[in-house]
C-alpha cells in the first residue's frame, strides 16, 4: 500500500534549478515553470500531480523566483502534507510551508488571537462527539452511538457550508441530504452544541476556519500581515474544497493572483462533507487570465485498466463529466480486467480469497493486493473468507467486524439469551435458531427493513443484519443447531480473524482507498443496489457513485478483478444484476456509447483580443476602485466597502444605520456568531449610505456576497424600505 502518485525521486538534491526539471514530461514541466499568475492543473488519476507541483515550488525556490517562507502549500490530510514537505526537502526547497487548511488556519489564529480578540485563545474541544451528546441531552433528545456520529457529521457539514442552526432544515433539504433525525431536532442539537461550546470556552475544528475567516475579514491590518508573509499559494485536491475553505483561500490571496490549484472533478467523492468541484470548474471564469495545464499521461495503470476507467467516465453525465480527462497510459500492456459473476456473496468472497491465495503463492506480496467494497458492512464476509484461506489482511478506515461496538453488544445479548433464554419473553414465539436471533437482535436495533439514508445508522443495521444472515446460513448447514452453538461459532470466527497484518491484504471501502494504489485490486459487490448504492436517488448522487467506482478502478496498477453476486445467500433467488456502470464495458454487455473527453492533455492560456483583432495572451485586469465623492483611488478595505474615503463627507441615514445594527444584533444572537460575522460596521454604513432598492443594488455593495444576499437580503431591503420585518411602515 503506497501513496497514490508513483514518482522517481532524486537520490540526492538536484544540483541546480534546471536539474529540478529533469525527468518531467512536457505538461509537468509546463506546470513547474508557470510561476506567475493563476494556474489551474487538471490532473487525472496517476498522472504525477504531486510530482508536478512539488517540482514547481522547488524550481521557483532554486531559481530565486520564490522565497521559501513566502510559499504556502495546502492540502487535505496530514499524510499528504508530510509527503509534500519530504519531497520539497529532497528537492532543496526546505522552509516551504506545506500544511492542511486547518493546520495553517490554527497557526494563524493562535498567533493573532491576542491582537484581534485579546486574552487566551479558547482550547480545541477534545471530543466533539461527547459535546454533541451533552447538547442532545440538554435538549432531551436521545441519540444512540450511530445517530450521534451522524448528527455530528451534519453539524460539521453545516459549519463548512456556513449554515447556521436556524437555516439547517432548509439547507439540508436544498442539498438533498438524508437527515439521520428530524431536521428540527438536529437544528435544536446544533444550536445547543454552539451554546455549550461558548459556555465551556472551547472551539471545534470548523470554528478554527470560521474564526480565521472572521478575523481576516474584519481586521484589514492582520489580513495584510498574513498577505505580506505569503505571496504564493498552491492548493492540492482542489475539487474537495468546501465553501468555507474557499473563502479562507480568497482572504489569504486578497487582490493577488499567484495561485496554483490542482484537482480532478472526476474524483469528487466527498460531497456529503461539503466538498464541491465548482471552485475547480469555475476557476477559469474567476481568473480569465489563468494558465490551464491538463495532465493525462497515466504512469500508474496499464492500458487495460486505463481503458476501463475512461469507459466509465465516457458514459457519465453532469458538469463534472463535461470536464473529464481521458487518460493515456504510459505503461506496457497488462492483463485485461477480469469480470466474475457469482451465485451468491459467500461464493464471491471465497472466489476472491482463492484467487488472492494463488497470487501470493505465485510471488505477489500481500501488501500489494486490495479488496475494495462500497460499505464497511461488506468487510465481514471477506475477513472470514481470507481467514479461511490463510491469507493475512488489514482493515483500513474501518474496525474489524467483530470489534464493532454494535457487534460486541449483540454478542453479549446473544450469549445472555443462550444462557437464560427460557426466561426471556422475547423468545416465546421463536421456533427456530434464525427466529431466536432475530428476536434478540430486534432489541438491539435490527428491523426487517433497513433504515432510510446512509451513514452510521445504516452501517449499524447492516452489521446486525449480517449476524441475522449468518444465523440463517448456520442453521441451514447444521440441523438442530442451538443458540449456544451459534455463540460458540461466533467466538471461533472472531478468534480466527486475529491474523498478523504486517504483510496483509488491504480491505478498504472505496472512500478510504482514495489516494492509495496497489498492484492488484479486487472490486467486489459491483451490483445494482450496492453500486450505485440503493439510497442514491438523484442524478447527482448517481454520478458521484460512478465517480466512486472510477476511483476504485484507478487504484489498480496491473491487475483488476471486478465481481458481483446474483443473490445474497446460497440458494437465494438470483435477482441481482451487475451494476449499470459496467454496461457496454464488460464482455457480453450492451450500453450507451460514451462521449469524447474535454480535450487532450496540454496547456491552455487566457486570451483577449487586441484592437487589431488578434488573439493575445492576457492577464486578469482589475478596474481601480475610486471614491464616489472625490474620485481618489481606493486601496483600504474599509474605504472599499464604503466606496469613499474615510474623510469624505457621508450622506448616511443615521436612523437606518441604527435599525440595521439592532437587526444585526438579533441575527448574531440567533446564529451564535459574533455580530461582525453577519455584517461588519463598514458594510452596514455602506448600506445606510446607498439605501438599496433591490437585490442587484444590494449585491453591488462590497461585503454583501451571494450567500449573505440569499440569507439576509429580504430583511435588509425591508428595513431600507422603512418597514419592520412584519411589513409595517416605520414612522420617521
Q: What's the average model confidence in pLDDT over 131-140?
A: 93
| pLDDT tens, residue by residue, 381-415 | 898 898 888 887 877 754 566 777 888 888 888 88
Q: Is pLDDT above 80 for 134?
A: yes
45 labelled ligand-binding: yes
Q: Is 571 annotated as a binding residue?
A: no
Q: Confirm or deny that 708 is annotated as ligand binding.
A: no
Give the C-alpha separation, 460 to 404, whole Å.
9
Please, which pLDDT band fits residue 621 given cuts at 50, 70 and 90? very low
- Amino acid 493: pLDDT: 66
| pLDDT exceeds 60 at position 594 | no
pTM reported for the whole predicted model: 0.67
Is 683 one of the annotated binding-site residues? Answer: no
Q: Which residue has the cell 445494482?
A: 528
What number is the average pLDDT over the span 161-182? Answer: 88
For residue 604, give the DSSP letter.
E
Band of the pLDDT at 223, cuts 50, 70, 90? very high
| Residue 313 pLDDT | 92
**Banded model confidence at residue 611, pLDDT cuts 50, 70, 90:** very low
Bond from prior residue into 687 cis (ω within 30 degrees of 0): no
160 Cβ contact partners less than 8 Å away, ≥ 6 residues apart: 206, 209, 242, 243, 244, 245, 273, 274
Pick the more confident residue, 706 or 550: 550
| Residue 43 known to bind ligand | yes
409 is in an annotated binding site: no
C-alpha closest to that of 49 among 97, 20, 84: 84
d(CA 527, CA 564): 5
Q: Which three cell numbers stand for residue 73?
A: 502549500
644: Cβ–Cβ under 8 A, 6 or more apart, which residues? 627, 628, 629, 630, 634, 650, 689
What pLDDT score was predicted for residue 457?
A: 72
Q: State pLDDT tens for residues 12-51.
A: 678 788 888 988 999 999 999 999 889 999 999 999 999 9
Q: Grid coordinates representing 515?
A: 489516494
- State whether residue 434 is helix, strand or coil: helix
Q: Given pLDDT bands bounded at 50, 70 and 90, which one contains residue 694?
A: confident
| d(C-alpha 51, C-alpha 358), whole Å | 35
**Mean pLDDT over each residue of the chain, to the nearest integer:** 83
Please state the rounded mean pLDDT for residues 239-263.
Answer: 92
pLDDT band, very low/low/confident/very high, at 53 (cuts 50, 70, 90): very high
pLDDT, mean of residues 660-673: 85
Amino acid at each position: 500500500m503506497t501513496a497514490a502518485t508513483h514518482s522517481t525521486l532524486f537520490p540526492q538534491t538536484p544540483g541546480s534549478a534546471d536539474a529540478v526539471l529533469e525527468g518531467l514530461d512536457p505538461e509537468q514541466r509546463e506546470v513547474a515553470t508557470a510561476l506567475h499568475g493563476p494556474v489551474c492543473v487538471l490532473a487525472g488519476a496517476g498522472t504525477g500531480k504531486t510530482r508536478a507541483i512539488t517540482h514547481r515550488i522547488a524550481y521557483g525556490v532554486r531559481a530565486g523566483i520564490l522565497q521559501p517562507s513566502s510559499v504556502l502549500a495546502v492540502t487535505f490530510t496530514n499524510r499528504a502534507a508530510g509527503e509534500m514537505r519530504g519531497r520539497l526537502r529532497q528537492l532543496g526547497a526546505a522552509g516551504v510551508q506545506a500544511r492542511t487548511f486547518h493546520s495553517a488556519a490554527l497557526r494563524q489564529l493562535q498567533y493573532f488571537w491576542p491582537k484581534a480578540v485579546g486574552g487566551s485563545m479558547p482550547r480545541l474541544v477534545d471530543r466533539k462527539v461527547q459535546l454533541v451528546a451533552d447538547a442532545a441531552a440538554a435538549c432531551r433528545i436521545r441519540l444512540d452511538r450511530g445517530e450521534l456520529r451522524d448528527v455530528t457529521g451534519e453539524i460539521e457539514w453545516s459549519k463548512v457550508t456556513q449554515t447556521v442552526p436556524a437555516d439547517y432544515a432548509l439547507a439540508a433539504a436544498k442539498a438533498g441530504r438524508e437527515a439521520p433525525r428530524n431536521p428540527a431536532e438536529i437544528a435544536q442539537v446544533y444550536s445547543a452544541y454552539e451554546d455549550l461550546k461558548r459556555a465551556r470556552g472551547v472551539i471545534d475544528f470548523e470554528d478554527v476556519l470560521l474564526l480565521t475567516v472572521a478575523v481576516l475579514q474584519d481586521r484589514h491590518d492582520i489580513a495584510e500581515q498574513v498577505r505580506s508573509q505569503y505571496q504564493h499559494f498552491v492548493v492540492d485536491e482542489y475539487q474537495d474544497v468546501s465553501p468555507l475553505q474557499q473563502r479562507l483561500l480568497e482572504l489569504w490571496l486578497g487582490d493577488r493572483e499567484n495561485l496554483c490549484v490542482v484537482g480532478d472533478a472526476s474524483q469528487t467523492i466527498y460531497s456529503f462533507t461539503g466538498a464541491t468541484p465548482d471552485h475547480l470548474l469555475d476557476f477559469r471564469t474567476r481568473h480569465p487570465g489563468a494558465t490551464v495545464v491538463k495532465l493525462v499521461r497515466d504512469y500508474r495503470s496499464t492500458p487495460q485498466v486505463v481503458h476501463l476507467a475512461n469507459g466509465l467516465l465516457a458514459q457519465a453525465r453532469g458538469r463534472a463529466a463535461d470536464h473529464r480527462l481521458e487518460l493515456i497510459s504510459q505503461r506496457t500492456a497488462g492483463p485485461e480486467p477480469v469480470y466474475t459473476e457469482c451465485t451468491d456473496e459467500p461464493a464471491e468472497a471465497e472466489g476472491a480469497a482463492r484467487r488472492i491465495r494463488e497470487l501470493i503463492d505465485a510471488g505477489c506480496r500481500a501488501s500489494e493486493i486490495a479488496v475494495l467494497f462500497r460499505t464497511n458492512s461488506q468487510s465481514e464476509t471477506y475477513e472470514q473468507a481470507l481467514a479461511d484461506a490463510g491469507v493475512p489482511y488489514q482493515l483500513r478506515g474501518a474496525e474489524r467486524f467483530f470489534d464493532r461496538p454494535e457487534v460486541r453488544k449483540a454478542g453479549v445479548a446473544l450469549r445472555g439469551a443462550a444462557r437464560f433464554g427460557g426466561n426471556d419473553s422475547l423468545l416465546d414465539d421463536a421456533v427456530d435458531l434464525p427466529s431466536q436471533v432475530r428476536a434478540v437482535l430486534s432489541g438491539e436495533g435490527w428491523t426487517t427493513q433497513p433504515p432510510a439514508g446512509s451513514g452510521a445508522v445504516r452501517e449499524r443495521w447492516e452489521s446486525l443484519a449480517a449476524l441475522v444472515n449468518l444465523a440463517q446460513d448456520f442453521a441451514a448447514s447444521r440441523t438442530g443447531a442451538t443458540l449456544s452453538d451459534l455463540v460458540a461459532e461466533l467466538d471461533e470466527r472472531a478468534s480466527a480473524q486475529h491474523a498478523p497484518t504486517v504483510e496483509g491484504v488491504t480491505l478498504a471501502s472505496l472512500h478510504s482507498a482514495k489516494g492509495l494504489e496497489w498492484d492488484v485490486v479486487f472490486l467486489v459487490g459491483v451490483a445494482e443496489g450496492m453500486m450505485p448504492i440503493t439510497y442514491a436517488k438523484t442524478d447527482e448522487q448517481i454520478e458521484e457513485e460512478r465517480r466512486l467506482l472510477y476511483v476504485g478502478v484507478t487504484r489498480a496498477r496491473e491487475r483488476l478483478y471486478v465481481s458481483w453476486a446474483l443473490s445474497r445467500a446460497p440458494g437465494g433467488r438470483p435477482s441481482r444484476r451487475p451494476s449499470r456502470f459496467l454496461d457496454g464495458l464488460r464482455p457480453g454487455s450492451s450500453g450507451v456509447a460514451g462521449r469524447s473527453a474535454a480535450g487532450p492533455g496540454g496547456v491552455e492560456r487566457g486570451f483577449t483580443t487586441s484592437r487589431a483583432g488578434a488573439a493575445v495572451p492576457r492577464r486578469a485586469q482589475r478596474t481601480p476602485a475610486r471614491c464616489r465623492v472625490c474620485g481618489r483611488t481606493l486601496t483600504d478595505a474599509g474605504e472599499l466597502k464604503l466606496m469613499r474615503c474615510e474623510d469624505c463627507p457621508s450622506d448616511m441615514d443615521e436612523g437606518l444605520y441604527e435599525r440595521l445594527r439592532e437587526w444585526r444584533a438579533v441575527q448574531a444572537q440567533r446564529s451564535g456568531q459574533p455580530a461582525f460575522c453577519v455584517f461588519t460596521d463598514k458594510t452596514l454604513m455602506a448600506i445606510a449610505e446607498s439605501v438599496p432598492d433591490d437585490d442587484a443594488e444590494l449585491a453591488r455593495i462590497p461585503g454583501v456576497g451571494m450567500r449573505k444576499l440569499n440569507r439576509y437580503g429580504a430583511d435588509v431591503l425591508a428595513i431600507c424600505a422603512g418597514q419592520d420585518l412584519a411589513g409595517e411602515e416605520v414612522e420617521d
